[in-house]
Amino acid sequence: GGVTWVIFINARSQGGYQNDAITMFLVPVCLGLLAAMAFYRYYLFCVITIPRKSFHYFNQEKKILTSSRHLVLGGLTLALFICCWQEDLVIAQTAGRLAFIIIFPFFTVVLVLISIKHTLLLTTSFSGAFSAILGIDLVAHTGYISGYWLLVTSLDKPYQLTRLVYVMLTSVLILAFLAYLWQLLFNVA
């Protein structure tokens, strides 16, 4: 759903779509629900067809499959976060920036092969911190969100790294670190 919204934002003209509000809401929601149903069908197919002898292996696959959603979200938020540390964005070329934002979430899924626990804790805590600070900026209007808006849309909005934006960027790092420690000490143990 979110990817569809980004595609629609970038593809629409200045006048917008006919019935713009309905199109921009319903199409991404419907495609997101369709993807969720497809994911659920795959899950049911695996539960029904895998014999009991290999149930241990299915549990491992199920753990990786369900955690991959969190890993991709964490990788996406981390990629967006990395790109917003300069006013003209860290990766200046549009094609390179797009490739980085698409490939980096899948890189976090590959990190599962090294350590599923720490990768999952890191991506979950980072996406939570990212969302919390983004929500604070929606109320405080510090300009933090304009960097992400510039990344996901082709609209030219000014992105200036003021002192408040640096505070928000640093707050994401601190909050993510604290959330990681909290999960490591209290939730995993």
Does the pLDDT at position 50 exceed 70? no
Does the pLDDT at position 46 exceed 70? no
- Residue 1 has what pLDDT? 65
For the chain, the straight-line distance linking the first and the last C-alpha, in angstroms and rounded, comes to 35
Tell me what percent of the chain is helix, strand and coil, each rounded to the nearest 5.
Answer: 80, 0, 20
The string of DSSP letters for 166-188 reads HHHHHHHHHHHHHHHHHIIIII-
Alpha helices in 50-110 (DSSP H): 55-83, 94-110
- Residue 175 has what pLDDT? 95
- Token digits of residue 1: 């759903």
Residue range 58-84, pLDDT digits in tens = 555 566 666 667 777 888 888 888 888
Choice between 1 and 174, residue whose per-residue pLDDT is larger: 174
Residue range 112-159, pLDDT digits in tens = 777 778 888 888 899 899 989 988 988 888 888 888 888 777 666 677
